[in-house]
């Protein structure tokens, strides 16, 4: 059984083909600059040279066709026919309250996803485009939706309800939903294994830090709070998103600068965060390099991000009570040793003792590493995330009829004998 995982972003499509029988990746890659122009595909197959092809993709349908063409190519491909693909798993960012677990996609499911696309206008439309494109080229294969929001549907009402007119929740679904759910699920399960405990006995703070950033407080194996909210704009400082700000600021700037609501929303999502502070960068590597040269705004950006990360650790520690571990994951979380150090400075009083040397030497997306000292009461791990494996296992379980939800399913990576 070969499972294709698709992750359609606004201007990219990530993919991974996984052999369930052999428990290994057959191929993976990404089509970049979809809808933007000058698009191309990067295709990776184990024990082969990486293949790159320039190919114009004006929409996601063409990008999906390019992936299919590449996977079946006589020279660079890995399958002779798409009939060899048993099913497709699709990342869907927002499922609203309707979806608390992964589901087989039918007309009703796709319609429900479309109904909440206004809650994630940057993400759900390309997710939907990817589903429809994949269904057109693989009409006979089962398609499964894996929701970013599903993992966080265990939050208690007092955590997800905003102090706003309650009818906004009743009429428009205004509440905290949370995102990056598959990533938080994967790394929290792996952290439980590294702790040598059952997930139900673990309290963990997971820190997914990339261009998008979200954190989760996980108590007894389930999410009880998370930093992103109704949309992925709330929470931590991100590459281009502002995160937590005074809610009066957008209206104030709208009036002062004579901007439309749409223009302000675009600025908060695309021109704020690290980019807004530095005026130039979203990549933390660039920020660190310029900060070392004395750039004051890059120094400020690092100070702000480290401070905000630390505040989330402290607040979630208060919510969880006993804390077993803090986990860093995603691009910056896995590679950004300085960001991690800034976030964990002077937290010995809550039981976090960082081994600065190990932390500084931990910059890999292939190895799980403990970066706290052996005597640290709270362990700190860097765990490379694997959202595509979550997609694959959910798809297979749904096809085999063994899947219920993430709380009642035995993932392979939650076992102590798991090896990537």
- Catalytic positions: 148
CA-to-CA separations, 31 to 37, 55, 135, in angstroms, rounded: 12, 9, 18
Burial-class residue 321 by CB neighbours within 10 Å (0-12, 13-18, 19+): exposed
Alpha carbon distance 304, 170 (integer Å): 36
Alpha carbon distance 105, 135 (integer Å): 10
Alpha carbon distance 387, 370 (integer Å): 21
Alpha carbon distance 364, 333 (integer Å): 10
Alpha carbon distance 212, 184 (integer Å): 13
DSSP 201: G
Dihedral angle sign, alpha carbons of residues 298, 302, 305, 308? negative
Task: For residue 226, give the nearest of 180, 189, 268 by alpha carbon.
Answer: 180
Residues forming a β-bridge with 90: 6, 145
């Amino acid at each position: 059984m070969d499972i294709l995982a698709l992750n359609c972003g606004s201007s990219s499509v990530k993919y991974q083909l996984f052999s369930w029988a052999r428990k290994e990746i057959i191929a993976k890659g990404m089509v970049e600059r979809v809808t933007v122009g000058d698009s191309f595909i990067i295709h990776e197959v184990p024990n082969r040279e990486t293949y790159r092809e320039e190919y114009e993709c004006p929409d996601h349908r063409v990008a999906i066709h390019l992936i299919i063409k590449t996977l079946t190519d006589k020279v660079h491909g890995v399958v002779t026919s798409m009939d060899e693909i048993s099913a497709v798993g699709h990342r869907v960012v927002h499922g609203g309250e309707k979806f608390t677990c992964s589901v087989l996609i039918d007309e009703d499911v796709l319609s429900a996803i479309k109904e909440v696309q206004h809650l994630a206008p940057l993400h759900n439309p390309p997710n939907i485009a990817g589903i429809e494109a994949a269904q057109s080229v693989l009409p006979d294969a089962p398609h499964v939706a894996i929701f970013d929001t599903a993992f966080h549907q265990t939050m208690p009402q007092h955590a997800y309800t905003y102090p706003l007119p309650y009818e906004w929740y009743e009429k428009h679904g205004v509440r905290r939903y949370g995102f990056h759910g598959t990533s938080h699920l994967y790394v929290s399960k792996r952290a439980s294994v590294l702790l040598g405990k059952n997930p139900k006995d673990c309290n963990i703070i997971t820190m997914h830090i990339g261009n998008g950033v979200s954190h989760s407080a996980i108590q007894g194996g389930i999410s009880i709070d998370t930093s992103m909210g109704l949309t992925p704009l709330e929470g931590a400082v991100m590459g281009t998103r502002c995160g937590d700000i005074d809610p009066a600021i957008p209206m104030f700037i709208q009036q002062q600068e004579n901007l439309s609501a749409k223009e302000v929303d675009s600025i908060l999502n695309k021109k704020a965060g690290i980019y807004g502070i530095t005026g130039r960068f979203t990549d933390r590597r660039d920020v660190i390099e310029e900060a070392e040269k004395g750039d004051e705004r890059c120094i400020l950006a690092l100070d702000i991000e480290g401070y905000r990360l630390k505040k989330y650790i402290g607040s979630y520690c208060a919510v969880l009570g006993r804390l077993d571990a803090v986990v860093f994951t995603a691009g910056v979380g896995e590679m950004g040793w300085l960001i991690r150090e800034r976030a964990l400075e002077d937290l010995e009083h809550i039981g976090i003792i960082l081994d600065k040397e190990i932390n500084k030497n931990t910059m890999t997306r292939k190895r799980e590493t403990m970066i706290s000292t052996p005597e640290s009461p709270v362990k700190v791990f860097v765990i490379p995330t694997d959202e595509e494996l979550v997609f694959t296992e959910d798809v297979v379980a749904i096809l085999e009829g063994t899947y219920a939800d993430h709380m009642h399913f035995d993932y392979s990576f939650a076992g102590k004998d798991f090896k990537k």
